[in-house]
Structure 1
Amino acid sequence: MKHRLSTTMLRGVVTGFAAVTLAACSQETSMNSETPQTASSALIERARGLEAPQVEQRPVTIEQVGFTRVDEFQWIKDENWQQVMREPEALQEDIRAVLDAENSYLDAVMEPTEALQERIFQEIRGRIKEDDSSVPQPHGNYEYFTRYREGGQYPVFSRRPIDPETGEPAGEEEILIDGDAEAGDFDYLDFGNVEHSPNHEFVAYAVDTRGSEYYEIIIREVATGAVIATLTDESTGDFVWANDSSTLYWVWRDDNGRSKRVYRQNRNGGTSELIYDEEDPGFFVSVGSSDGENYIVINAGGHTSNEIRVIDAADPAGEPTLIAAREEGVEYYLTEATDRFYFRTNADGAVDFKIVSAPLDNPGRENWEDFVAHRPGVLVNGVIGFEDWLVRSERENALPRIVVHEYATGEEHEIAFEEEAYSLGMSGGYEFAVDRLRFSYESPSTPEETYDYNMRSRERVLRKRQEVPSGHNPDDYVVRRIMAPGHDGVEIPVTILHHRDTPIDGSAPLMLYGYGSYGITIPASFRVTPLSLADRGMVYAIAHIRGSMARGYQWYLDGKLELKMNTFRDFVSAGEALAAEGYTSRGNIVAYGGSAGGLLVGAAVNLQPDLFAGAIAAVPFVDVINTMSDAELPLTPPEWPEWGNPIESAEDYQTMIEYSPYDQITETAYPHILATGGLTDPRVTYWEPTKYVARMRDRRTDDGLTLLKMNMGAGHGGASGRFDSLRETALNWAFALMVTGLADGEVEDIAAE
């Protein structure tokens, strides 16, 4: 299903690590091999002399499924939180005072590193080509692309005419949507879907100016630039055009932040027509189009099952037709071919998914025929359909591959790659009757390369190599893949990046990144941000732990529900293996994760606090029991299949309470902690990191740092501008350098300058 700029309502948006994917460079290395055990950190000693906020305790006793717990900070959740998501100024004053005090304390602690943060920010920004643009995608007599201007914070969506015979540009750029102009005086701006109409005369786009993920859908006439309608300000940012270029289908978000309904509406506004209404609070709705753009596709899905309805895109007044009714544990995803539908599905026990096909006029499950059989351990990760080709992405043993199938001959071939660890992406574009596949290749040391691949001749043409303005030599870095032994004998893939001059003798500090939920797999891709750590002598590693699908769908199943503890133990095992192999040493690791990855960080430091020098928990899902017991929160009912339901099940409650970071904070010594949050975040609400920091500071027995950075004008993704978000990364990196002893010398050097 085509869905070019979707908004996914999961705790699966990873901040910080995955937020920036443009360019990187090599800086002069500043190596400091002292470990925090031996380094005398003046920055840490200074910070210990500052007075931290003490949050008032108002204990509440909660009885649930036979268990009792006491929450002394539950009052930090505003009773009118739904209003706060839309109107941040409505926050209770006593809660605002807590957040302001935490931000002031963080600023005071990090004040000596401000110049270091600025240096890191400028380094990362220097690796980004500011006037960058995407490789254009042809569609009819135009090619469409996105670009940034020099100094611009937001994308510019554009097109230019092309010669239909040669495919070459045949005219000047036309700006469809100017992101910088749209931002205006707003402190926050995020685009949802952005799509031109099939007749190329109109462009529709979704914008959120609060960070709450409620989007306006705006329609412009391309020829004049005039806004002709604003359809709604209650969408998920998810919509699609019908083929008449007059009708749009869009998804509505309810007061609790859930995507529940699909509406049909004319581009000129007017009355919207309800097309689909999802009654199950555990299912969210999305809308898109099939690869050949002949069908509008409505998907209603939970974590373990879904069902799809289609509407003839040439008959926008038509009614949705159900493909196959939802069935517990069965997922299926649609791809259109010339005369058949193809489905990627786990039906019939296909744990790692298989591909089946069915006729367009009778696509029900009773007519599904195996096309690519299930192969245990080989995950079918995605499918793109063309008129003559079906392309699938697969993953085996944490490495991706692309396989091309020709319908006429039945022949298949794989596109080959050689590095030890790498990442692939692929795109079908707007056009269906073509032999061209666009794919991208990158690794932690190799900037992204975008290719057009001729599936018939098997020739690849490099269309773009990610440019690094300040310079980047991949040979300056080493990329490795090791298999860490897990607590139960499994092997956990770990991707490693370090500067070639960093000694691998146990003396280097290390940042260990992980996620490990929802089946989301963190790729071994090129990131501009970790290079600022690598250039200073810090090793950077990604643990591909259970709860992801790095080693197939079973890898995901083995890290959820009653097996969730495997995720956290795998992360600890990865850290211990990295220390054992000399990449770092125990107590010299900074744990880093965002969203559900923040849960990972919180659980890991509870399990093995002495393994870590510090921990960065970005928008962390740490108050697990309370959140999963609140059925009004946007993600709670949909995520019971992921975590369990502690409202009804004593077993689920017991499982969660044993790893919930907030509930497992004990009176012991902990690493230095930095947690972040966003006031209007609907996925991980602001009170989770706030409560976590308050309880951690109250219970820890050492004098380590416990810090909270609350963004008062943003949601789950943090600051929206591409450069503003880098300042948040610079703060995180300065914290990591400070707690591992690497910052002291550099701060002194900067002061001397």
Structure 2
Amino acid sequence: MTLTPPIAKKVPLKRTHHGDTFVDNYEWLRDKDDAEVIAYLEAENAYTEQETAGLAELRGQIFDEIKSRTQETDLSVPTRMGNWWYYSRTLEGKSYGLQCRCPVDSPDNWTPPTLSADIEIAGEQILLDSNLEAEGHDFFSLGAFSISQDGNLLAYSTDTEGDERYTLRFKDLSTGELLADTIENVSTGATWAIDHRHVFYQTVDESWRPDTVWRHTLGTPTEQDQKVFHEPDESYWVGFGSTRSEKYLMIWVGSKITTECLVLESADPEGEFRVVLPRVDGVEYSVEHAVVKGEDRFLIQHNGSVNGWGTEGEKAENFLLAEAPVDNPEDQRILVPHRADVRLEDVDAFADHLVLNYRREALTRLAIWPLDENGYGEYEEMTFDEELYSVGAGSNPEWSQPLLRLVYTSFITPAKVYDYDLATGEMLLRRSQPVLGDFDANDYVQHREWATTADGTRIPLSVVLRKDVPDGPAPTLLYGYGSYEASTDPSFSVARLSLLDRGIVFVVAHVRGGGEMGRAWYDNGKTLTKKNTFTDFVSAAQYLIDSGRTSPQHLVADGGSAGGLLMGAVANLAPELFNGILANVPFVDPLTSILDPSLPLTVIEWDEWGNPLAEREVYEYMKSYSPYENVEAKDYPSILAITSINDTRVLYVEPAKWVAALRATKTGDSHLLLKTEMNAGHGGVSGRYEKWKEAAFEYAWIVDKTGGSLDYRQR
């Protein structure tokens, strides 16, 4: 029997704000406990399955390609912590990884052992097998994985629903036995105090906002756990961690534009946390502990005045770095001044050096800064050969170590793990991500191009393709995100090879709202400038078409979550430029969500989008771009929307309503498909094989809509 497109019933619901009334016909889809809602979602799934059945063979080919290129039995580069080498393993046929360790053979040995995933490893301990933890569950996610400083205890948390509510458990690593302590409904993290008896964790409020820090003492009932901090302001969330030195425990409190840090010496876990610097509206800061010339110092990165904390002057929007005594954090001396062309992102402190992480010209940068008897030496930026790349610190848990673990990658270079020798400056390659089969990086090229918007802004584009793709309109996938100052940095993908090898050009549009070009780039793509994100993406698409790179018949747009909002907005703004739009967990009903403070994370989001409840201007601006509220009777490109029923960040109801409105309103005969994962959360399905199947499903659709070759070698 051939299925017809599901038509959702209309149940008009009036919503009135600032004198404006909007009739929402599909809000009834929000109740996932309603059998009629589930029946509708399942009908959409069945229709999607029918309409994509012709791609089944191609999906199978792509899945097989991903699988054949992946070294299924594998392990990571061991990282030293204390007297152990820690690493993860994957086994052929197993969906999830194993967390393992083996003993260090010599106190002076910092060279990771050469281990083989398919050969028995001497002294190996399997600390956690996620395959066993996942048994009997359709979904599994590992949250916390925290080893006590003495190496004897493990705190770990698991989520088996996809709703990001975790169960925290404890394991005695000397015996392998689980302790009786179990804590339900916690957030992801867990942090040990240095005494190995106290562990700190967080819980969330009804809106899924991490708001409270608790202290648990091993061996005591959960009911006796002590609340050590609570943040009542719904626009702030709470984080917890410790410095690399493990001398300080830290509570982080932050909104989108303001932060505050509280510290406590880890040796006194039952003491009182103290505020480092009181929160100042619109000022963000972070704190790291360093020891300089034998004295404890706080390294404070902030975006207050360019002249220093508490002084007059223009805002250091790209952040500066200062140092201060731990007992007087306001007595600051600027170490790295603010620069308009460099976004300072992070500083890592070690016993005898610092690592600066920053961004310039849309690329990540990293510099090593030695500490010696005279204090701060000269820092030196590391250089790399490729035009596009990403570099960052890897796993470096030890306060004092002679090597610095780095990870380097690009769109065409599989991830490389290096140990940088701090004494000699030598880069020691420890591992290059294996890609099986006939992969040769020399078959591909990557480069930067620039699109210009109507307001004259130059938008960086990252372009990746096979060398032998002919000139002229080519099948092209244009990806974008553009929110939360998140940057889409170059990274290698085994799965993406299945697109590139079919002649598809992959392009990333680094639109405003992201963080690639500094804080101003972000500020000019949020709140009342959010439309820049959408018009930047349209300009990128138009540039690719005008330059002859592609044509509307061969161009597909792709984005997820807040990038899914971008997809929905672009579908309304310039549907004629695309043959297809892929929207993953798309935030396409933003005004409804941001108007409802009871929904997960809404109040926190007001600094990102504005507060439409309080401000008419924000309400009208958001309504003018909301994809759901701007669906029109016109031809749209083919659209594939994918969501998850247990998503707590972007509720499934948003794409469900969007698709229902499109189906009832749009003209033309382009495909409109909704796929709902019925046992997953914001990150989609779990387990690597299921993720490969999902990638194959999406990529087969992309190949079809771009006109890519079914088999590259037969083009």
Structure 2 CA distance for partners of 1:427 and 1:359, relative to 1, 3 Å = farther
Conserved? CA contact 1:234–1:254, under 8 Å: no
Q: Letter of the aligned partner of 2:30 in structure 1? A: K
Aligned to 1:260: 211
Aligned to 1:279: 232
Structure 2 CA distance for partners of 1:488 and 1:671, relative to 1, 3 Å = same
Q: Aligned pair 1:205/2:162, yes or no?
A: no
- TM-score between the two structures when normalised by the length of structure 1: 0.89
Match of 1:104 among 22, 46, 49: 46
Q: Deviations over 1:645-675 (max 9, x none)?
A: 1111100001111111111111110000000
SS of structure 1 residue aligned to 2:688: coil
Whole-Å separation in 1 of the counterparts to 2:344 and 2:239 = 22
Aligned pairs for 1:348-747 within 5 A: 348=305, 349-363=315-329, 366-408=330-372, 409-427=376-394, 429-506=396-473, 508-742=474-708
Aligned to 2:302: 345
Q: Deviations over 1:711-750 (max 9, x none)?
A: 000010011101211111111111112223347x669x9x
Whole-Å separation in 2 of the counterparts to 1:231 and 1:298 = 23
Conserved? CA contact 1:448–1:466, under 8 Å: yes
Q: Deviations over 1:456-491 (max 9, x none)?
A: 321110011111122420111111110111221111
Q: 1:681, CA displacement in angstroms?
A: 0.4
Aligned to 2:309: none
Structure 2 CA distance for partners of 1:581 and 1:269, relative to 1, 3 Å = farther
Structure 2 CA distance for partners of 1:230 and 1:699, relative to 1, 3 Å = farther
Q: Aligned pair 1:249/2:192, yes or no?
A: no
Alignment: residue pair count: 686
Aligned to 1:87: none
Q: Letter of the aligned partner of 1:480 in structure 2? A: H
SS of structure 2 residue aligned to 1:407: strand
Q: 1:223, CA displacement in angstroms?
A: 2.1
Whole-Å separation in 1 of the counterparts to 2:396 and 2:260 = 25
SS of structure 2 residue aligned to 1:578: helix
Conserved? CA contact 1:188–1:719, under 8 Å: yes
**Runs of 4+ off more than 6 Å:** none
Conserved? CA contact 2:554–2:707, under 8 Å: no
Whole-Å separation in 1 of the counterparts to 2:180 and 2:611 = 42
> Bigger CA drift: 607-616 or 424-433?
424-433
Aligned to 2:109: 166
Whole-Å separation in 2 of the counterparts to 1:567 and 1:487 = 13
Whole-Å separation in 1 of the counterparts to 2:184 and 2:411 = 39
Aligned to 1:4: none
Conserved? CA contact 2:435–2:494, under 8 Å: no
Question: Can you give the 5+ residue segments of structure 1 that lack an aligned partner in the other structure?
Answer: 1-46, 79-83, 85-90
Whole-Å separation in 2 of the counterparts to 1:177 and 1:670 = 48
Q: 1:304, CA displacement in angstroms?
A: 0.5
Whole-Å separation in 2 of the counterparts to 1:121 and 1:144 = 31
Q: 1:421, CA displacement in angstroms?
A: 0.8
Q: Aligned pair 1:137/2:137, yes or no?
A: no
> Bigger CA drift: 121-130 or 345-354?
121-130
What is the percent sequence identity of the aligned residues?
A: 38
Q: Deviations over 1:158-198 (max 9, x none)?
A: 11101213346594210000111111111111011201111
Whole-Å separation in 1 of the counterparts to 2:254 and 2:333 = 23
Aligned to 2:90: 148
Aligned to 2:308: none
Whole-Å separation in 1 of the counterparts to 2:79 and 2:651 = 37
For the aligned residue pairs, the C-alpha RMSD in angstroms reads 1.6
Whole-Å separation in 2 of the counterparts to 1:166 and 1:179 = 30
Q: 1:125, CA displacement in angstroms?
A: 2.0
> Bigger CA drift: 126-135 or 705-714?
126-135
Conserved? CA contact 1:137–1:143, under 8 Å: yes
Aligned to 1:239: 190
Q: 1:428, CA displacement in angstroms?
A: 5.5
> Bigger CA drift: 379-388 or 163-172?
163-172
Q: 1:429, CA displacement in angstroms?
A: 1.3
Aligned to 1:10: none
Conserved? CA contact 2:79–2:395, under 8 Å: no
- TM-score between the two structures when normalised by the length of structure 2: 0.94
Whole-Å separation in 1 of the counterparts to 2:402 and 2:357 = 17
Structure 2 CA distance for partners of 1:347 and 1:726, relative to 1, 3 Å = same
Q: Deviations over 1:592-619 (max 9, x none)?
A: 0010000011111111000000000000
Conserved? CA contact 1:518–1:547, under 8 Å: yes
Structure 2 CA distance for partners of 1:524 and 1:711, relative to 1, 3 Å = same
Aligned pairs for 1:60-99 within 5 A: 60-78=13-31, 91-99=33-41
Q: Letter of the aligned partner of 2:182 in structure 1? A: L
Aligned to 1:127: 69
Conserved? CA contact 2:110–2:403, under 8 Å: no
Whole-Å separation in 1 of the counterparts to 2:44 and 2:406 = 45
Relative contact order: is structure 1 or structure 2 higher (C-alpha 8 Å, sep ≥ 6)?
1
Aligned pairs for 1:49-60 within 5 A: 51-60=4-13
Q: 1:493, CA displacement in angstroms?
A: 0.7
Whole-Å separation in 2 of the counterparts to 1:472 and 1:329 = 48
Q: 1:269, CA displacement in angstroms?
A: 4.3
Aligned to 2:312: none
Q: 1:588, CA displacement in angstroms?
A: 2.2
Whole-Å separation in 2 of the counterparts to 1:167 and 1:286 = 32
Q: Deviations over 1:72-94 (max 9, x none)?
A: 0011111xxxxx6xxxxxx2101
SS of structure 2 residue aligned to 1:548: coil
Q: Aligned pair 1:310/2:274, yes or no?
A: no
SS of structure 1 residue aligned to 2:75: coil
Q: Letter of the aligned partner of 1:399 in structure 2? A: L
Q: 1:368, CA displacement in angstroms?
A: 2.2
Q: 1:581, CA displacement in angstroms?
A: 2.4
